[in-house]
């Protein structure tokens, strides 16, 4: 614990960065206080206490999975060989910028969190993975490491690594595979949850924001962390807002804030009708969900969850069917190309959605799409095709009227409207290694 | 060593050699048909694979017969060592050596295939690809060692074997896409039985998604939530 | 003790031998890739399942032994 008064506002992860400046090591220590890691003799006791505190804090993974962190670490700790601790700053999701923001403005929180994780898991070393095509984040973390070195604070071996910037490369088994010297493609794991192996050591992979949260919990305790959330929700979270908004960007918000107010932070261009939550493998939600608390439990009744903190707000100016088709095509092009149902199923799905979006009257197209969704789901090695299936199913629910109209060949009033999605060039010919 | 020779041994050696070459030619063709997923109503795909396997075992038996007859016959000096070690034969060392090398490769392929379930799949595959080396070496061995090359029918026979394997190989590479990375192809969407698969690379052509109008602000300045 | 058929989708190259050998247990999607039908393999088909596993050209098919759940619904 630190004797520095903890920040009370919801500016916790992003404390000190509101003028848009990067916190160097001195500024980081001035803002957050020093992280005190246990002496060798107290490590064992500290681990037990810390895991309890993380469980009490209710921290869940911020990389999209939302799995309770304490439980995940518990299984990582009970091994015989010392693991390799990996911090995932890959952020392949195009509509997500939060991990990059953390890396660029508060890199020392990530690195502190890495130290907490490494101490917890008795890791032999730390690897921080940043996508090769994210030079800003790479540079900031590189600088942060040299700042720590100059201050003689190097309790662990930290390697900054740069896997290829492909969408699936950030998936944890793909990251582990790449760290093992192979291509950054997901691997088949017969039993889930299964342990990852990197260079014959167990691998524990955690998201950058999760690590940053741990850096704060280690300083201020679980009650302080929980207090950042509204109601039953625990802590704050980073959300990347985009879509029909004037000021897209990354915002730190208390979990449990009604979705409408979270979106309001980015100054919507007009009345918001719905949003895409989680990422391109996430879910669409309609007007009813706008009053739901932005949290796992708050969004669950709407079949949704915060996921990787992506919120793309829609005011209805673009066509929901067309946006769904665009995402499906983009995701199809990002396939690792390993599993038949994904390699063939996703492009087929995308083609059918495009037909529908273009208003071409093809009889039975909706049934074909639905049967493809059924056939593709769960038959790949990773969750990439499952995410697309989830997305399209939610689109069918939220844009039900639009899908119906398109299927009947009714001319869409929003035909040709520009997309609100960030759809960068697909990875295409980028190498996998 | 007692001299043991007889025209029967000599004819057996030559005849079994020719039959072995024919059989391995057919084995190569069947192997390629297995890889290209040929198969359907009269002969299912698994049956093509099974035929390939069984034919190869028959070929190995004839190969054993060919080797035995050649070595036992003392008319030409081929030692037992020369069966496995190239250039150890007194008789036509080079051409016998080619046969030896081919045998060594075939032995590796056969043994690994018999124990396919127990060994690493990548290792099995790598060794299996050596068949594309073993067969031409065996062919050259047949052409140059034989005393039958003066017969026109032998020319025809060899030409036929070459035609079968070369045509199959060309078909495999160019006309019939398969998953070993030779081509990225559009999948055949007719029936499951004829659908082929081409993987290892993301499907081409990739259609570009529609351009966006509202990119996320690159400054990403964090904001204070309402108090 | 249940026995289930599983496929490694990365190793699978859509040869389709499994569906030919064990059509009661495996069918193919429109692109030639296996769909495992049902949960556990009925006892009378276990031999057929093993044959399909052995014949897979890519060793992509495998058997998984799962402990049969014993909890009653009330205690779940």
Task: State the total domains in chain C.
Answer: 1
d(CA A50, CA A57): 10
Question: In chain A, which residue's Cα lies nearest the Cα of C60?
Answer: A188
Give chain C positions within 8 Å (CB) of B114.
none
Q: Which two tokens stand for residue C37?
A: 């039908």
CATH of residue C24's domain is: 3.30.70.20
- C-alpha torsion angle, residues A179, A184, A190, A195 (rounded to 10): 30
- Name the minimum distance, in Å, from the CA of A42 to any CA of chain B: 38
User: Does residue A13 fall inside a structural domain?
Assistant: no
Tally of CB atoms within 10 A around B30: 21
Chain C contacts to A (CB-CB under 8 A): 6, 8-14, 29-33, 35, 62, 64
Q: For residue A249, what are the β-bridge partners?
A: A241
Contact C20 B121 (CB under 8 A): no
Q: Is residue A414 part of a domain?
A: no
Q: How many CB pairs under 8 A join B and C?
A: 53
Sign, CA dihedral A48-A54-A56-A58, equals: negative
Contact A289/C at CB under 8 A = no
Cβ-defined contact of A250 to B187 (cutoff 8 Å): no
The per-residue pLDDT for A357 is 93
Find chain B residues with C-beta within 8 A of A261's C-beta. 226
Query: Which residues of A are less than 8 Å from C9 in CB distance?
Result: 188, 338-342, 379-381
**C13–B179 CB contact, under 8 Å:** yes
- The whole-angstrom distance between C27's CA and the closest CA on chain A is 12
Report the C-alpha gap between A17 and B106 in whole angstroms.
69
Residue B205: pLDDT above 70? no
Confidence of residue B1 (pLDDT cuts 50, 70, 90): low
Q: Does B11 touch chain C (CB under 8 A)?
A: no
Residue of C nearest to A337 (CA): C10
Residues A133 and A275 in one domain: no
Chain A residues with CB inside 8 Å of B188's CB? none
In this structure, are residues A46 and A35 in contact, taking their beta carbons and an 8 Å threshold? Answer: no
Instruction: Say if residue A158's pLDDT is above 70.
Output: yes
**DSSP alpha helix (H) spans, C1-76:** 17-21, 46-55
Helix, strand counts (H, E) of chain B: 7, 0
A174 has a chain C CB within 8 A of its CB: no
Element (H, E) at B81: helix B81-84
Q: Tell whether A285 and A143 lie within a shared domain.
A: no
Mean pLDDT of A35-44: 91
**Is the model more confident about A151 or about A77?**
A151
A210, A13 Cβ separation under 8 angstroms? no
Q: Are A302 and A379 in a shared domain?
A: no
Q: Are A122 and A60 part of one and the same domain? A: yes
Print the domain residue range for A401: 320-407
Same domain, A278 and A335: no
A313 → chain B, closest CA residue: B214
- pLDDT the model gives residue C71: 54
Among candidate residues A387, A49, A338, A63, the one with its CA nearest the CA of residue A204:
A63
**CA separation, residue A156 to residues A180, A209, C9, C31, C69 (Å):** 20, 20, 38, 49, 44
Pairing of strands A196-198, A201-207: antiparallel
Alpha-carbon Rg for chain B in angstroms:
26
Q: How far is B121 from chain C (nearest CA, A)?
A: 7
- Is B174 or A282 the better-scoring residue by pLDDT? A282
Q: For chain B, give the percent of residues with pLDDT over 90.
A: 52
Residues in chain A within 8 Å Cβ distance of C58: none
Closest in C6, C32, C64 to A340, CB measured: C32
Q: What angle do CA A193, A197, A201 make, to 5 degrees?
A: 130
pLDDT at B56 over 60: yes
pLDDT over 90 at B76, yes or no:
no
Residue A74, H or E segment: helix A69-77
CB atoms inside a 10 Å sphere around CB B40: 13
Average pLDDT along chain A: 92
Which residues of chain B make contact with A423, given a CB cutoff of 8 A? 209-212
Residue A96 pLDDT greater than 90, yes or no: yes
Distance CA B70, CA A376 (A): 58
Chains that touch B (3 or more CB pairs under 8 A): A, C
Confirm whether A231 is domain-assigned. Answer: no
Mean pLDDT of chain B: 78
Positions of chain C with pLDDT under 50: 75-76
Which residue reads 């508060």 in tokens? A106
pLDDT of the residue at A361: 81
Domain count, chain A: 3
Chosen for mutation from B199, B222, B226 (greatest number of chain A CBs closer than 10 Å) is B222
Query: Of all helices (H) and strands (E), which one includes residue A351?
Result: helix A340-357
For residues A264 and A386, membership in a common domain is answered with no
- Chain C partners of A375 at a C-beta cutoff of 8 Å? 29-30, 35
Q: If pLDDT is split at 50, 70 and 90, which confidence band does A78 have?
A: low
Question: Alpha carbon of A286 to those of A95, A259, A302, A421: distances in Å?
Answer: 19, 11, 9, 17
Q: Which residue, A163, A89, A98, A94, is CA-closest to A426? A: A94
Structural tokens at position A417: 């409207």
Separation CA A87–CA A205 (nearest Å): 6
Radius of gyration of chain C, Cα coordinates, nearest whole angstrom: 14
Token duo for residue A115: 């130290």
Report the pLDDT averaged over residues A196-201: 91
Length in residues, chain C: 76
Structure tokens at A391: 């997305």
Residues in chain A: 433
User: Minimal CA–CA distance to A336: which of A104, A193, A170?
Assistant: A170
- Chain C contact set for B192 (CB, 8 A): 16, 19, 27-30, 32
Q: Is A169:A163 a contact under the CB 8 Å cutoff?
A: yes
For tokens 């949003």, name the residue: A275
User: Is the pLDDT at B173 greater than 90, yes or no?
Assistant: no
Of C32, C57, C59, the CB nearest to B195: C32
Annotate A299-314 with b (16+ C-beta within 10 A) or e (fewer): beebebbbbbbbbbbb
Query: Residue B199: what pLDDT?
Result: 39
Position A224 scores a pLDDT of: 94
CA B15 to chain centre: 23
Contact of A284 with A274, CB cutoff 8 Å = yes
Surface-to-core class of residue B162, CB atoms within 10 Å of its CB (0-12 exposed, 13-18 middle, 19+ buried): middle
Same domain, A244 and A218: no
In a domain, A167, yes or no: yes
Of C9, C11, C13, the CB nearest to A341: C9
**Triad A156, A66, A97: Cα angle to 5°:** 70
Instruction: Please check whether residue C14 is in contact with residue C61, taking contact to mean a CB–CB distance below 8 angstroms.
Output: no
Q: Residue A429: pLDDT band by 50, 70, 90 thresholds? A: confident
Task: Write out the two tokens for A306.
Answer: 């915060």
Q: How far apart are CA A101 and CA A109, in angstroms?
A: 12
From A226, A244, A261, the end of a domain falls on: A226
Element containing residue A260 per DSSP (H, E): helix A259-264
Instruction: List the single residue in B with minimal CA-CA distance to A339.
Output: B199
Q: Is B121 on the interface with A (CB under 8 A)?
A: no
Give yes or no: residues A306 and A328 share one domain: no
A28 contacts A109 by C-beta, under 8 angstroms: yes
Tell whether B5 lies on the interface with C, counting CB pairs under 8 A: no
Sequence-ordered list of residues with C-beta below 8 angstroms from that of B203, at least 6 positions apart, any chain: A332, A335, A337, A343, A344, A347, B184, B186
Most confident of A36-40, A193-197, A207-211, B198-202: A207-211
A46 part of contact set with chain C, CB < 8 Å:
no
A433 lies in some domain: no
Same domain, A273 and A294: yes
Which contiguous run of DSSP H or E holds residue B222?
Answer: none
Tokens of A100: 């990059």
Backbone phi, then psi, for A207, in 5-degree steps?
-70, 155
The token pair that represents B144 in the structure block: 């140059």
Its domain, for residue C68, covers: 2-75
Q: For chain C, say whether B54 makes contact (Cβ under 8 Å).
A: no
Cβ B222–A333 below 8 Å, yes or no?
no
Residues 6 or more apart whose CB falls under 8 angstroms from that of A193 comprise A75
Give the residue from A158, A144, A110, A146 showing the smallest Cα distance to A24.
A144
Tokens of A390: 């989830």
Q: Distance (Å, rounded) from C-alpha A414 to C-alpha A202?
A: 51
Residue A68 phi/psi, 5-degree rounding, is -55, 120
Per DSSP, A121 falls in state: H
User: In the numeric block, which tokens belong to residue B175?
Assistant: 């006309």
Instruction: Tell me the CATH number at A75.
Output: 3.40.50.11540
Please indicate, yes or no, whether residues A298 and A366 belong to a single structural domain of this protein.
no
Between CA A431 and CA A166 the distance in angstroms is 9
- Chain B hits for C33, CB-CB cut-off 8 Å, are 197
Q: Is residue A3 part of a domain?
A: no
Q: What is the share, in percent, of chain A residues with pLDDT greater than 70? A: 97
Q: Which of A314, A334, A357 is the last residue of a domain?
A: A314
Distance CA C76, CA C74 (A): 6
- How close is the nearest chain C Cα to the Cα of A184, in Å? 14
Residue B132 pLDDT greater than 90, yes or no: yes
Q: For residues A34 and A253, is the Cβ–Cβ distance under 8 A?
A: no
Whole-number pLDDT of residue A204: 94
* Backbone φ, ψ for residue B18 (5° rounding): -65, -45
Nearest-by-CA chain A residue for C66: A191
Final residue in a domain of this structure, among A180, A203, A226 = A226
| Distance in Å, alpha carbon of B204 to nearest chain A alpha carbon | 9
Q: What is the ipTM of this complex?
A: 0.89
């Amino acid at each position: 614990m630190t004797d520095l008064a903890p920040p009370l506002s919801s500016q916790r992860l992003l404390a000190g960065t509101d003028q848009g400046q990067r916190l160097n090591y001195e500024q980081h220590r001035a803002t957050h206080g020093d992280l005190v890691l246990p002496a060798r003799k107290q490590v064992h006791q500290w681990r037990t206490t810390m895991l309890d505190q993380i469980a009490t804090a209710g921290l869940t993974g911020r990389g999209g999975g939302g799995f309770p962190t304490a439980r995940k670490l518990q299984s990582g700790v009970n091994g015989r060989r010392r693991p390799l601790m990996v911090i995932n700053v890959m952020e392949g999701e195009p509509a997500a910028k939060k991990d990059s923001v953390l890396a660029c403005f508060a890199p020392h929180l990530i690195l502190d969190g890495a130290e907490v994780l490494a101490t917890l898991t008795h890791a032999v070393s730390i690897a921080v993975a940043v996508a090769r095509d994210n030079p800003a984040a790479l540079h900031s973390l590189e600088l942060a490491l040299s700042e720590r070195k100059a201050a003689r604070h190097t309790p662990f071996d930290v390697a900054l690594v740069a896997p290829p910037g492909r969408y699936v490369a950030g998936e944890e088994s793909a990251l582990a595979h790449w760290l093992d010297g192979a291509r950054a493609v997901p691997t088949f794991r017969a039993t889930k949850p299964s342990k990852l192996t990197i260079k014959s050591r167990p691998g524990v992979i955690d998201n950058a924001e999760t690590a940053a949260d741990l850096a704060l919990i280690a300083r201020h305790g679980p009650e302080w962390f929980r207090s950042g959330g509204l109601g039953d929700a625990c802590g704050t979270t980073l959300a990347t807002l985009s879509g029909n908004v004037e000021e897209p960007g990354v915002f730190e918000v208390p979990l449990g804030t009604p979705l409408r107010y979270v979106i309001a932070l980015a100054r919507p261009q007009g009345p918001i009708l719905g949003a895409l939550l989680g990422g391109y493998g996430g879910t669409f939600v309609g007007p009813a969900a706008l009053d739901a608390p932005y949290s796992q439990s708050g969004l669950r009744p709407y079949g949704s969850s915060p996921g990787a903190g992506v919120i793309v707000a829609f005011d209805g100016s673009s066509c929901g069917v067309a946006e769904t088709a665009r995402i499906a095509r983009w995701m199809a092009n990002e396939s690792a190309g390993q599993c038949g149902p994904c390699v063939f199923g996703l492009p087929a799905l995308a083609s059918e959605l495009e037909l529908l979006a273009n208003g071409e009257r093809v009889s039975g197209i909706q049934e074909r799409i639905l049967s493809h969704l059924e056939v593709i789901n769960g038959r790949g090695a990773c969750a990439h095709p499952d995410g697309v299936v989830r997305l399209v199913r939610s689109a069918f629910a939220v844009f039900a009227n639009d899908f119906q109209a398109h299927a009947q060949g009714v001319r869409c009033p929003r035909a040709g409207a520009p997309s609100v999605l960030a759809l960068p060039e697909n990875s295409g010919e980028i190498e996998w290694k | 060593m007692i001299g043991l020779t007889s025209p029967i041994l000599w004819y057996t050696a030559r005849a079994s050699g020719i039959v072995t070459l024919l059989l391995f030619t057919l084995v190569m063709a069947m192997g390629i048909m297995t890889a290209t997923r040929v198969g359907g109503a009269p002969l299912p795909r698994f049956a093509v694979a099974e035929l390939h396997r069984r034919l190869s075992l028959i070929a190995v038996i004839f190969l054993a017969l060919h080797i035995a007859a050649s070595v036992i016959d003392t008319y030409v000096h081929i030692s037992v060592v020369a069966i496995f070690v190239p250039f150890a034969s007194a008789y036509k060392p080079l051409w016998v050596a080619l046969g030896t090398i081919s045998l060594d490769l075939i032995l590796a392929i056969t043994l690994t295939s018999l124990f396919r379930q127990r060994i690493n799949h990548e290792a099995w595959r790598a060794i299996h690809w050596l068949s594309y080396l073993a067969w031409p070496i065996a062919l050259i061995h047949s052409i140059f060692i034989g005393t039958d090359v003066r017969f026109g029918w032998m020319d025809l026979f060899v030409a036929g074997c070459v035609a079968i394997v070369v045509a199959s190989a060309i078909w495999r590479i160019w006309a019939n896409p398969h998953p070993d990375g030779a081509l990225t192809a559009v999948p055949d969407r007719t029936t499951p039985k004829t659908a082929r698969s081409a993987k290892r690379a993301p499907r081409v052509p990739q259609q570009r998604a529609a351009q966006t109008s509202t990119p996320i602000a690159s400054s990403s300045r964090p904001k204070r939530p309402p108090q | 003790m249940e026995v289930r058929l599983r496929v490694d989708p990365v190793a699978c190259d859509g040869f389709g031998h499994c569906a030919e050998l064990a059509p009661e247990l495996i069918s193919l999607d429109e692109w030639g890739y296996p769909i495992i039908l049902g949960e556990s393999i009925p006892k009378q088909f276990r031999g057929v399942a093993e044959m399909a596993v052995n014949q897979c050209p890519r060793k992509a098919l495998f058997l998984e032994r799962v402990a049969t759940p014993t909890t009653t619904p009330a205690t779940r």
